[in-house]
Protein backbone atom coordinates (compact mmCIF):
# COMPACT_ATOMS: atom_id res chain seq x y z
CA UNK A 1 0.00 0.00 0.00
CA UNK A 2 2.82 2.37 0.99
CA UNK A 3 4.88 1.42 -2.03
CA UNK A 4 1.89 2.04 -4.31
CA UNK A 5 1.46 5.52 -2.81
CA UNK A 6 5.13 6.33 -3.29
CA UNK A 7 5.00 5.15 -6.88
CA UNK A 8 2.00 7.37 -7.51
CA UNK A 9 3.76 10.42 -6.06
CA UNK A 10 6.92 9.84 -8.09
CA UNK A 11 4.87 9.34 -11.23
CA UNK A 12 3.06 12.59 -10.63
CA UNK A 13 6.24 14.58 -10.09
CA UNK A 14 7.77 13.04 -13.21
CA UNK A 15 4.74 14.01 -15.22
CA UNK A 16 4.96 17.61 -13.99
CA UNK A 17 8.64 17.85 -14.80
CA UNK A 18 8.08 16.44 -18.26
CA UNK A 19 5.18 18.81 -18.82
CA UNK A 20 7.11 21.95 -17.68
CA UNK A 21 8.99 22.46 -20.94
CA UNK A 22 5.68 22.23 -22.79
CA UNK A 23 4.23 24.97 -20.56
CA UNK A 24 7.37 27.08 -20.92
CA UNK A 25 7.25 26.71 -24.68
CA UNK A 26 3.85 28.36 -24.64
CA UNK A 27 5.22 31.47 -22.83
CA UNK A 28 6.51 34.39 -24.87
CA UNK A 29 8.61 37.25 -23.52
CA UNK A 30 6.73 40.56 -23.77
CA UNK A 31 7.81 42.49 -26.88
CA UNK A 32 10.59 44.94 -26.12
CA UNK A 33 11.27 43.62 -22.62
CA UNK A 34 14.81 42.52 -23.46
CA UNK A 35 17.23 44.77 -25.30
CA UNK A 36 20.85 44.70 -26.37
CA UNK A 37 23.03 47.68 -25.49
CA UNK A 38 26.64 48.32 -26.40
CA UNK A 39 28.74 51.30 -27.47
CA UNK A 40 27.68 50.95 -31.11
CA UNK A 41 23.99 50.91 -30.21
CA UNK A 42 24.45 53.75 -27.74
CA UNK A 43 26.23 55.96 -30.26
CA UNK A 44 26.23 59.59 -29.10
CA UNK A 45 23.23 59.21 -26.80
CA UNK A 46 23.52 60.50 -23.22
CA UNK A 47 23.09 57.92 -20.49
CA UNK A 48 21.08 59.76 -17.86
CA UNK A 49 20.30 59.03 -14.23
CA UNK A 50 18.18 61.02 -11.86
CA UNK A 51 16.57 64.40 -12.32
CA UNK A 52 17.33 66.47 -15.41
CA UNK A 53 17.20 70.27 -15.08
CA UNK A 54 17.17 72.88 -17.83
CA UNK A 55 19.61 75.44 -16.41
CA UNK A 56 22.06 74.62 -19.21
CA UNK A 57 21.47 72.85 -22.54
CA UNK A 58 23.02 69.51 -21.58
CA UNK A 59 19.88 67.49 -22.45
CA UNK A 60 18.23 70.03 -24.78
CA UNK A 61 18.53 69.63 -28.54
CA UNK A 62 16.03 72.27 -29.61
CA UNK A 63 13.25 74.60 -28.49
CA UNK A 64 10.39 75.77 -30.70
CA UNK A 65 7.99 78.51 -29.53
CA UNK A 66 9.30 77.92 -26.02
CA UNK A 67 11.99 79.62 -23.96
CA UNK A 68 14.05 79.02 -20.84
CA UNK A 69 13.29 81.45 -18.01
CA UNK A 70 15.24 82.23 -14.83
CA UNK A 71 12.83 82.20 -11.88
CA UNK A 72 13.26 84.25 -8.71
CA UNK A 73 12.50 82.89 -5.24
CA UNK A 74 9.57 84.49 -3.44
CA UNK A 75 10.33 86.43 -0.27
CA UNK A 76 8.42 85.31 2.81
CA UNK A 77 5.53 87.63 3.79
CA UNK A 78 6.69 87.69 7.44
CA UNK A 79 10.20 88.93 6.59
CA UNK A 80 12.36 89.68 8.40
CA UNK A 81 11.90 86.48 10.36
CA UNK A 82 14.66 87.53 12.76
CA UNK A 83 15.26 91.11 13.81
CA UNK A 84 16.92 93.19 16.54
CA UNK A 85 14.68 92.63 19.56
CA UNK A 86 16.89 91.76 22.55
CA UNK A 87 18.49 94.13 25.08
CA UNK A 88 22.01 92.93 24.27
CA UNK A 89 21.46 93.84 20.59
CA UNK A 90 20.61 97.49 21.15
CA UNK A 91 24.17 98.83 20.94
CA UNK A 92 25.37 96.61 18.07
CA UNK A 93 26.26 98.40 14.85
CA UNK A 94 24.55 95.66 12.85
CA UNK A 95 23.40 92.54 14.70
CA UNK A 96 23.26 90.30 11.62
CA UNK A 97 25.91 89.62 8.99
CA UNK A 98 27.09 86.61 6.98
CA UNK A 99 25.09 83.51 7.91
CA UNK A 100 25.26 79.72 7.72
CA UNK A 101 22.21 77.47 8.08
CA UNK A 102 21.62 73.75 8.65
CA UNK A 103 18.81 71.45 9.62
CA UNK A 104 20.03 69.13 12.35
CA UNK A 105 18.51 65.68 11.85
CA UNK A 106 19.33 64.65 15.43
CA UNK A 107 17.05 67.16 17.15
CA UNK A 108 15.00 68.32 14.15
CA UNK A 109 15.97 71.97 14.62
CA UNK A 110 16.99 74.50 12.03
CA UNK A 111 20.11 76.36 13.17
CA UNK A 112 21.73 79.56 11.96
CA UNK A 113 25.11 81.05 12.88
CA UNK A 114 25.56 84.67 11.86
CA UNK A 115 28.24 87.28 12.12
CA UNK A 116 27.74 90.15 14.54
CA UNK A 117 29.13 93.62 13.81
CA UNK A 118 29.82 95.26 17.14
CA UNK A 119 30.68 98.74 15.89
CA UNK A 120 31.30 100.65 12.67
CA UNK A 121 35.05 100.44 13.22
CA UNK A 122 34.80 96.65 13.15
CA UNK A 123 36.93 96.37 16.28
CA UNK A 124 35.70 92.88 17.18
CA UNK A 125 33.62 90.14 15.61
CA UNK A 126 31.60 87.24 17.03
CA UNK A 127 28.87 84.80 16.03
CA UNK A 128 25.21 84.70 17.01
CA UNK A 129 23.29 81.42 17.24
CA UNK A 130 19.54 80.91 16.71
CA UNK A 131 17.29 77.86 16.36
CA UNK A 132 13.86 77.05 14.99
CA UNK A 133 11.55 74.03 14.92
CA UNK A 134 10.15 74.94 11.51
CA UNK A 135 12.58 77.40 9.94
CA UNK A 136 10.03 80.21 10.24
CA UNK A 137 9.76 81.04 13.95
CA UNK A 138 13.23 81.55 15.41
CA UNK A 139 14.49 81.68 18.98
CA UNK A 140 17.63 83.26 20.44
CA UNK A 141 18.63 80.80 23.15
CA UNK A 142 20.77 82.08 26.02
CA UNK A 143 24.02 80.28 25.30
CA UNK A 144 26.06 82.14 27.91
CA UNK A 145 24.13 82.62 31.19
CA UNK A 146 26.82 84.91 32.55
CA UNK A 147 26.75 87.29 29.56
CA UNK A 148 23.03 86.74 29.01
CA UNK A 149 23.13 86.54 25.21
CA UNK A 150 22.84 84.09 22.32
CA UNK A 151 26.42 84.28 21.11
CA UNK A 152 28.32 81.14 20.25
CA UNK A 153 30.89 80.25 22.92
CA UNK A 154 34.13 80.54 21.04
CA UNK A 155 37.55 81.66 22.24
CA UNK A 156 39.91 81.66 19.27
CA UNK A 157 43.46 82.88 19.71
CA UNK A 158 42.75 85.72 17.27
CA UNK A 159 41.01 88.86 18.61
CA UNK A 160 38.80 89.25 15.54
CA UNK A 161 36.81 86.53 13.74
CA UNK A 162 34.07 86.53 11.12
CA UNK A 163 32.62 85.03 7.96
CA UNK A 164 31.66 81.70 9.53
CA UNK A 165 30.61 78.84 7.30
CA UNK A 166 29.18 75.94 9.32
CA UNK A 167 28.28 72.40 8.31
CA UNK A 168 27.28 69.15 10.01
CA UNK A 169 29.61 66.24 9.24
CA UNK A 170 27.28 63.23 9.42
CA UNK A 171 30.18 60.81 8.87
CA UNK A 172 32.41 62.22 11.62
CA UNK A 173 33.21 59.54 14.25
CA UNK A 174 34.45 62.00 16.85
CA UNK A 175 31.32 63.58 18.40
CA UNK A 176 33.36 66.61 19.41
CA UNK A 177 33.84 67.43 15.74
CA UNK A 178 30.34 66.81 14.40
CA UNK A 179 29.88 70.52 13.67
CA UNK A 180 32.63 72.02 11.55
CA UNK A 181 33.29 75.70 10.95
CA UNK A 182 35.50 77.64 8.60
CA UNK A 183 36.06 81.26 9.56
CA UNK A 184 38.28 84.21 8.83
CA UNK A 185 40.47 85.89 11.42
CA UNK A 186 42.62 88.99 11.88
CA UNK A 187 45.44 88.18 14.32
CA UNK A 188 46.44 91.83 14.69
CA UNK A 189 43.05 93.32 13.89
CA UNK A 190 44.17 94.57 10.48
CA UNK A 191 43.02 93.32 7.10
CA UNK A 192 46.62 92.71 6.07
CA UNK A 193 46.75 89.85 8.62
CA UNK A 194 43.64 88.06 7.33
CA UNK A 195 43.77 84.26 7.42
CA UNK A 196 41.34 81.35 7.16
CA UNK A 197 40.85 78.90 10.02
CA UNK A 198 38.67 76.01 11.17
CA UNK A 199 36.94 75.08 14.43
CA UNK A 200 34.88 72.18 15.78
CA UNK A 201 31.89 71.70 18.04
CA UNK A 202 29.81 68.88 19.51
CA UNK A 203 26.64 70.95 19.93
CA UNK A 204 27.01 73.98 17.65
CA UNK A 205 27.33 76.28 20.68
CA UNK A 206 30.69 75.48 22.26
CA UNK A 207 33.51 75.76 19.71
CA UNK A 208 37.19 74.84 19.80
CA UNK A 209 39.62 76.20 17.20
CA UNK A 210 41.97 73.86 15.36
CA UNK A 211 45.40 74.02 17.08
CA UNK A 212 47.16 74.12 13.72
CA UNK A 213 45.35 77.28 12.53
CA UNK A 214 45.68 79.10 10.20
CA UNK A 215 45.17 76.51 7.47
CA UNK A 216 44.33 78.50 4.35
CA UNK A 217 45.72 81.89 3.39
CA UNK A 218 43.32 84.81 3.46
CA UNK A 219 39.65 85.48 2.98
CA UNK A 220 37.78 88.56 4.13
CA UNK A 221 34.24 87.39 3.45
CA UNK A 222 32.26 84.29 4.28
CA UNK A 223 33.80 80.86 3.65
CA UNK A 224 31.28 78.27 2.44
CA UNK A 225 32.17 74.59 3.04
CA UNK A 226 30.20 71.41 2.31
CA UNK A 227 30.76 67.68 1.96
CA UNK A 228 30.74 66.49 -1.65
CA UNK A 229 29.54 62.88 -1.72
CA UNK A 230 30.48 62.47 -5.36
CA UNK A 231 34.08 63.53 -4.75
CA UNK A 232 34.30 62.07 -1.25
CA UNK A 233 35.90 65.33 -0.14
CA UNK A 234 35.16 68.57 1.63
CA UNK A 235 34.84 71.54 -0.72
CA UNK A 236 34.80 75.22 0.17
CA UNK A 237 34.40 78.49 -1.74
CA UNK A 238 36.08 81.64 -0.49
CA UNK A 239 37.64 84.85 -1.70
CA UNK A 240 40.83 84.98 -3.71
CA UNK A 241 43.83 86.48 -2.00
CA UNK A 242 46.11 87.85 -0.88
CA UNK A 243 45.96 90.48 -2.26
CA UNK A 244 42.30 91.31 -1.79
CA UNK A 245 40.50 90.64 -5.08
CA UNK A 246 36.74 90.17 -5.19
CA UNK A 247 36.55 86.93 -7.14
CA UNK A 248 35.64 83.39 -6.07
CA UNK A 249 38.16 80.65 -5.36
CA UNK A 250 37.72 76.98 -4.57
CA UNK A 251 39.61 74.61 -2.26
CA UNK A 252 39.07 70.98 -1.26
CA UNK A 253 40.21 68.64 1.50
CA UNK A 254 40.06 64.99 2.49
CA UNK A 255 40.07 65.67 6.25
CA UNK A 256 39.08 69.35 6.84
CA UNK A 257 42.65 69.97 7.92
CA UNK A 258 44.84 69.77 4.82
CA UNK A 259 43.48 71.97 2.04
CA UNK A 260 44.43 72.23 -1.61
CA UNK A 261 45.78 75.51 -3.06
CA UNK A 262 43.14 77.94 -4.24
CA UNK A 263 41.82 77.78 -7.80
CA UNK A 264 39.83 80.73 -9.18
CA UNK A 265 36.50 79.44 -10.46
CA UNK A 266 34.33 82.58 -10.88
CA UNK A 267 35.86 85.85 -11.99
CA UNK A 268 34.67 89.14 -13.43
CA UNK A 269 33.43 89.25 -17.02
CA UNK A 270 31.59 91.51 -19.44
CA UNK A 271 28.44 90.75 -17.49
CA UNK A 272 29.88 92.70 -14.55
CA UNK A 273 31.13 95.74 -16.45
CA UNK A 274 27.90 97.79 -16.87
CA UNK A 275 27.35 98.17 -13.11
CA UNK A 276 30.95 97.83 -11.99
CA UNK A 277 30.02 94.60 -10.21
CA UNK A 278 32.34 92.87 -7.74
CA UNK A 279 31.89 89.17 -6.85
CA UNK A 280 31.67 89.25 -3.09
CA UNK A 281 30.78 85.80 -1.77
CA UNK A 282 29.46 82.48 -3.07
CA UNK A 283 27.72 79.57 -1.40
CA UNK A 284 26.98 76.33 -3.21
CA UNK A 285 25.32 72.95 -2.84
CA UNK A 286 25.14 69.65 -4.74
CA UNK A 287 21.68 69.31 -6.26
CA UNK A 288 20.23 66.56 -8.48
CA UNK A 289 23.62 65.48 -9.79
CA UNK A 290 24.78 69.05 -10.51
CA UNK A 291 25.83 72.05 -8.39
CA UNK A 292 23.89 75.23 -7.65
CA UNK A 293 25.59 78.38 -6.40
CA UNK A 294 24.35 81.74 -5.13
CA UNK A 295 26.71 84.57 -6.00
CA UNK A 296 26.69 87.78 -4.00
CA UNK A 297 27.04 90.66 -6.49
CA UNK A 298 28.21 94.05 -5.21
CA UNK A 299 27.35 96.83 -7.65
CA UNK A 300 29.00 100.20 -8.04
CA UNK A 301 31.14 100.54 -4.94
CA UNK A 302 31.58 104.17 -3.99
CA UNK A 303 31.93 106.49 -1.00
CA UNK A 304 31.04 109.52 -3.11
CA UNK A 305 27.57 111.06 -3.34
CA UNK A 306 25.30 108.88 -5.50
CA UNK A 307 23.20 110.51 -8.25
CA UNK A 308 19.45 110.02 -7.95
CA UNK A 309 19.34 108.24 -11.30
CA UNK A 310 21.82 105.57 -10.14
CA UNK A 311 20.21 104.11 -7.01
CA UNK A 312 21.81 100.71 -7.70
CA UNK A 313 25.24 101.99 -6.66
CA UNK A 314 26.91 100.59 -3.54
CA UNK A 315 24.23 97.88 -3.11
CA UNK A 316 24.34 94.08 -3.28
CA UNK A 317 21.98 91.48 -4.64
CA UNK A 318 22.32 87.82 -5.64
CA UNK A 319 22.81 85.97 -8.91
CA UNK A 320 22.66 82.27 -9.77
CA UNK A 321 25.65 80.22 -10.92
CA UNK A 322 25.68 76.64 -12.17
CA UNK A 323 28.13 73.77 -12.53
CA UNK A 324 28.13 70.12 -13.55
CA UNK A 325 31.37 69.30 -11.74
CA UNK A 326 31.65 71.88 -8.94
CA UNK A 327 34.82 73.26 -10.54
CA UNK A 328 33.86 74.96 -13.79
CA UNK A 329 31.02 77.39 -13.12
CA UNK A 330 28.66 79.19 -15.48
CA UNK A 331 26.84 82.44 -14.85
CA UNK A 332 23.07 82.18 -15.27
CA UNK A 333 21.22 84.84 -17.26
CA UNK A 334 17.49 85.29 -17.80
CA UNK A 335 17.48 82.36 -20.25
CA UNK A 336 19.86 80.01 -18.48
CA UNK A 337 23.55 79.28 -18.08
CA UNK A 338 26.10 80.92 -20.35
CA UNK A 339 29.55 79.57 -21.20
CA UNK A 340 32.87 81.32 -20.61
CA UNK A 341 33.30 81.88 -24.34
CA UNK A 342 29.83 83.44 -24.56
CA UNK A 343 30.74 85.75 -21.68
CA UNK A 344 33.55 87.09 -23.88
CA UNK A 345 31.17 87.73 -26.76
CA UNK A 346 29.09 90.75 -27.70
CA UNK A 347 25.54 91.46 -26.57
CA UNK A 348 23.61 94.05 -24.59
CA UNK A 349 25.44 93.34 -21.35
CA UNK A 350 23.65 96.05 -19.40
CA UNK A 351 20.30 94.45 -20.11
CA UNK A 352 21.75 90.99 -19.44
CA UNK A 353 23.06 92.12 -16.06
CA UNK A 354 19.73 93.68 -15.11
CA UNK A 355 17.92 90.45 -15.96
CA UNK A 356 20.40 88.17 -14.18
CA UNK A 357 19.18 89.05 -10.68
CA UNK A 358 18.11 85.94 -8.77
CA UNK A 359 17.45 87.21 -5.24
CA UNK A 360 17.00 91.00 -5.38
CA UNK A 361 17.39 93.65 -2.72
CA UNK A 362 14.22 95.39 -1.59
CA UNK A 363 12.62 98.62 -2.76
CA UNK A 364 14.94 101.57 -2.33
CA UNK A 365 14.66 103.20 1.11
CA UNK A 366 11.36 101.41 1.81
CA UNK A 367 11.95 97.71 2.46
CA UNK A 368 13.94 96.28 5.36
CA UNK A 369 16.45 94.74 2.91
CA UNK A 370 16.74 97.63 0.47
CA UNK A 371 20.49 98.12 0.75
CA UNK A 372 22.22 94.75 0.80
CA UNK A 373 21.29 91.07 0.56
CA UNK A 374 23.75 88.39 1.70
CA UNK A 375 22.80 84.74 1.10
CA UNK A 376 23.25 82.28 3.94
CA UNK A 377 25.10 79.09 3.09
CA UNK A 378 23.78 76.72 1.86
CA UNK A 379 20.26 76.77 0.39
CA UNK A 380 18.12 74.09 2.05
CA UNK A 381 15.78 71.64 0.33
CA UNK A 382 12.72 71.29 2.56
CA UNK A 383 9.93 69.11 1.21
CA UNK A 384 8.87 70.46 -2.15
CA UNK A 385 10.59 73.83 -1.82
CA UNK A 386 14.09 75.26 -1.72
CA UNK A 387 14.76 77.76 1.04
CA UNK A 388 17.16 80.64 0.69
CA UNK A 389 17.86 82.27 4.03
CA UNK A 390 19.64 85.59 3.85
CA UNK A 391 20.73 88.64 5.78
CA UNK A 392 19.09 91.84 4.63
CA UNK A 393 20.46 95.27 5.47
CA UNK A 394 18.91 98.71 5.32
CA UNK A 395 21.65 100.97 4.10
CA UNK A 396 24.30 100.69 1.46
CA UNK A 397 27.72 99.11 1.81
CA UNK A 398 29.47 102.34 2.79
CA UNK A 399 26.44 103.53 4.74
CA UNK A 400 28.31 106.03 6.91
CA UNK A 401 29.46 108.01 3.86
CA UNK A 402 25.93 108.01 2.40
CA UNK A 403 24.37 108.85 5.77
CA UNK A 404 22.14 105.78 5.60
CA UNK A 405 20.61 104.48 8.78
CA UNK A 406 21.76 100.86 8.96
CA UNK A 407 19.94 97.95 10.52
CA UNK A 408 19.74 94.28 9.60
CA UNK A 409 17.66 91.14 9.93
CA UNK A 410 17.35 87.61 8.59
CA UNK A 411 14.81 86.77 5.91
CA UNK A 412 13.68 83.83 3.81
CA UNK A 413 12.86 83.40 0.14
CA UNK A 414 11.52 80.16 -1.32
CA UNK A 415 11.55 78.48 -4.72
CA UNK A 416 9.61 75.44 -5.85
CA UNK A 417 11.59 72.23 -6.10
CA UNK A 418 13.78 72.31 -9.26
CA UNK A 419 12.46 75.78 -9.96
CA UNK A 420 15.69 77.55 -10.93
CA UNK A 421 15.11 77.67 -14.70
CA UNK A 422 11.93 76.53 -16.43
CA UNK A 423 10.99 76.00 -20.06
CA UNK A 424 7.89 78.11 -20.73
CA UNK A 425 5.39 78.19 -23.57
CA UNK A 426 2.38 80.46 -23.98
CA UNK A 427 -0.90 80.24 -25.86
CA UNK A 428 0.95 79.22 -29.01
CA UNK A 429 2.01 75.65 -28.37
CA UNK A 430 5.75 75.07 -28.07
CA UNK A 431 8.07 72.11 -27.86
CA UNK A 432 11.28 71.02 -26.16
CA UNK A 433 13.12 68.16 -27.84
CA UNK A 434 15.89 66.42 -25.98
CA UNK A 435 19.13 65.10 -27.34
CA UNK A 436 19.29 61.30 -27.79
CA UNK A 437 19.02 59.75 -24.33
CA UNK A 438 19.28 56.33 -22.74
CA UNK A 439 17.77 55.69 -19.33
CA UNK A 440 16.82 52.78 -17.13
CA UNK A 441 13.36 52.69 -15.60
CA UNK A 442 9.70 52.34 -16.37
CA UNK A 443 8.15 55.68 -15.40
CA UNK A 444 8.68 59.24 -16.56
CA UNK A 445 8.16 61.73 -13.75
CA UNK A 446 8.05 65.44 -14.54
CA UNK A 447 7.88 68.65 -12.55
CA UNK A 448 5.57 71.04 -14.38
CA UNK A 449 2.85 73.62 -13.98
CA UNK A 450 0.25 73.13 -16.69
CA UNK A 451 -2.64 74.66 -14.77
CA UNK A 452 -4.78 76.46 -17.32
CA UNK A 453 -2.87 74.80 -20.16
CA UNK A 454 -1.60 71.37 -21.15
CA UNK A 455 1.56 69.31 -21.44
CA UNK A 456 2.07 66.06 -23.36
CA UNK A 457 5.14 63.97 -24.16
CA UNK A 458 6.06 61.83 -27.13
CA UNK A 459 9.05 59.54 -27.68
CA UNK A 460 11.10 59.41 -30.88
CA UNK A 461 13.44 56.66 -32.02
CA UNK A 462 17.05 57.13 -33.12
CA UNK A 463 15.86 58.16 -36.59
CA UNK A 464 13.49 60.78 -35.23
CA UNK A 465 10.32 58.81 -35.88
CA UNK A 466 7.55 58.65 -33.29
CA UNK A 467 7.63 55.33 -31.45
CA UNK A 468 4.35 53.48 -31.88
CA UNK A 469 2.15 53.86 -28.81
CA UNK A 470 4.18 56.80 -27.47
CA UNK A 471 2.93 59.65 -29.65
CA UNK A 472 1.24 62.88 -28.62
CA UNK A 473 -2.21 61.41 -29.22
CA UNK A 474 -1.34 58.45 -26.98
CA UNK A 475 -0.29 60.65 -24.06
CA UNK A 476 -2.79 61.66 -21.39
CA UNK A 477 -2.54 65.47 -21.20
CA UNK A 478 -1.24 66.99 -17.96
CA UNK A 479 -3.35 69.99 -16.99
CA UNK A 480 -2.44 70.60 -13.33
CA UNK A 481 0.48 71.82 -11.24
CA UNK A 482 2.67 69.22 -9.52
CA UNK A 483 6.33 68.54 -8.85
CA UNK A 484 5.68 64.83 -9.50
CA UNK A 485 3.45 64.25 -12.50
CA UNK A 486 3.54 60.67 -13.85
CA UNK A 487 3.37 60.65 -17.64
CA UNK A 488 0.85 58.09 -18.97
CA UNK A 489 0.40 56.74 -22.46
CA UNK A 490 -2.88 54.95 -23.15
CA UNK A 491 -2.79 51.15 -23.35
CA UNK A 492 0.65 51.25 -21.70
CA UNK A 493 0.87 50.31 -18.01
CA UNK A 494 4.33 51.93 -17.94
CA UNK A 495 7.07 53.08 -20.32
CA UNK A 496 9.59 50.25 -19.90
CA UNK A 497 9.57 49.79 -23.68
CA UNK A 498 11.48 53.08 -23.90
CA UNK A 499 14.26 52.08 -21.50
CA UNK A 500 17.79 51.04 -22.52
CA UNK A 501 17.44 52.30 -26.08
CA UNK A 502 18.47 55.60 -27.66
CA UNK A 503 15.39 57.83 -27.82
CA UNK A 504 14.44 61.47 -27.80
CA UNK A 505 11.68 62.95 -25.69
CA UNK A 506 9.60 65.77 -27.12
CA UNK A 507 7.59 67.82 -24.64
CA UNK A 508 4.58 69.71 -26.05
CA UNK A 509 3.61 72.71 -23.92
CA UNK A 510 0.75 75.16 -24.08
CA UNK A 511 0.41 77.77 -21.34
CA UNK A 512 2.71 75.59 -19.30
CA UNK A 513 6.07 75.57 -17.48
CA UNK A 514 8.37 72.56 -17.40
CA UNK A 515 10.99 72.46 -14.63
CA UNK A 516 12.53 68.97 -14.75
CA UNK A 517 12.01 65.36 -15.75
CA UNK A 518 13.27 62.14 -14.22
CA UNK A 519 13.15 58.46 -15.30
CA UNK A 520 11.98 56.42 -12.30
CA UNK A 521 11.56 52.73 -11.41
CA UNK A 522 8.10 52.18 -9.99
CA UNK A 523 7.08 48.64 -10.94
CA UNK A 524 8.21 45.01 -10.64
CA UNK A 525 8.93 43.35 -13.97
CA UNK A 526 9.54 39.79 -12.77
CA UNK A 527 8.79 37.23 -15.50
CA UNK A 528 7.94 33.54 -15.26
CA UNK A 529 9.71 30.98 -17.41
CA UNK A 530 9.46 31.67 -21.12
CA UNK A 531 10.67 30.15 -24.38
181-229 pLDDT, tens digit per residue, is 999 998 887 888 899 999 999 999 999 999 999 999 888 899 999 999 9
In sequence order, the 6+-apart residues with CB closer than 8 A to the CB of 428 are 65, 510
165 and 282, same structural domain?
yes
- Pick left, alpha or beta for residue 461 (phi over 0 → left; psi -120 to 50 → alpha; otherwise beta): beta
Establish if 440 belongs to a structural domain.
Answer: yes
445 and 496, same structural domain?
yes
252 and 127, same structural domain?
yes
448 and 366, same structural domain?
no
515 and 466, same structural domain?
yes
Establish if 2 belongs to a structural domain.
Answer: no
| Burial of 127 per CB tally in 10 Å (0-12, 13-18, 19+) | buried
Q: Which residues of the chain have pLDDT under 70?
A: 1-26, 120-125, 531
Q: What pLDDT is attached to residue 16?
A: 43
CATH number at residue 136: 2.115.10.20
113 and 255, same structural domain?
yes
Establish if 531 belongs to a structural domain.
Answer: no
140 and 283, same structural domain?
yes
202 and 153, same structural domain?
yes
Q: What pLDDT is attached to residue 220?
A: 87
Establish if 513 belongs to a structural domain.
Answer: yes
Q: What is the DSSP letter of 193?
A: G
182 and 255, same structural domain?
yes
Establish if 312 belongs to a structural domain.
Answer: yes
451 and 429, same structural domain?
yes
Q: What pLDDT is attached to residue 22?
A: 42
Among 377, 396, 418, the domain boundary falls at: 418
The range of the structural domain enclosing residue 336 comes to 74-418
Q: What pLDDT is attached to residue 10?
A: 46
Q: What pLDDT is attached to residue 299?
A: 98
Among 358, 385, 418, the domain boundary falls at: 418
Q: How many domains does the chain have?
A: 2
Q: What pLDDT is attached to residue 314?
A: 98
DSSP string, 469-521: T-SGGGBPPB-SEEEEEE--BTT-S--GGGTTS-BEEEEEEESEEEEEEEEE-
Q: How far is CA 515 from CA 370, 378, 424, 432, 437, in A?
A: 30, 21, 9, 12, 18
277 and 181, same structural domain?
yes
Establish if 3 belongs to a structural domain.
Answer: no
Rounded to whole angstroms, how far apart are CA atoms 170 and 155? 25
pTM, to two decimals = 0.92
Establish if 266 belongs to a structural domain.
Answer: yes
Among 418, 449, 474, the domain boundary falls at: 418
Amino acid sequence: MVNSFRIAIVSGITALLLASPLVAQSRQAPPGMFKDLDDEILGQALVIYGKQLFIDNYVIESLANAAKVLNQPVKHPQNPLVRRDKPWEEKLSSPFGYGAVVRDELDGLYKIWYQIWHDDKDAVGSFGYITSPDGITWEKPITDPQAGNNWALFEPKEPWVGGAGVMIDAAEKNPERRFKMMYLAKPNGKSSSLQSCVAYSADGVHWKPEPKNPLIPYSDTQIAPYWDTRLNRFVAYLRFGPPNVRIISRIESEDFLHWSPKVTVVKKSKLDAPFNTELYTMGAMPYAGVYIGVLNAYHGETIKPIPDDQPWMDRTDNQLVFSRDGVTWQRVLKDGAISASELRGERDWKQAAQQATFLPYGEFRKDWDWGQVYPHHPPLVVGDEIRFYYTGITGRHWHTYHKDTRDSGIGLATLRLDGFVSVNAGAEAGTLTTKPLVFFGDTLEINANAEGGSLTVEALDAEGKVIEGFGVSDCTPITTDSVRHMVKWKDKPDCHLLQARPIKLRFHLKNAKLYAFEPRIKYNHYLQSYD
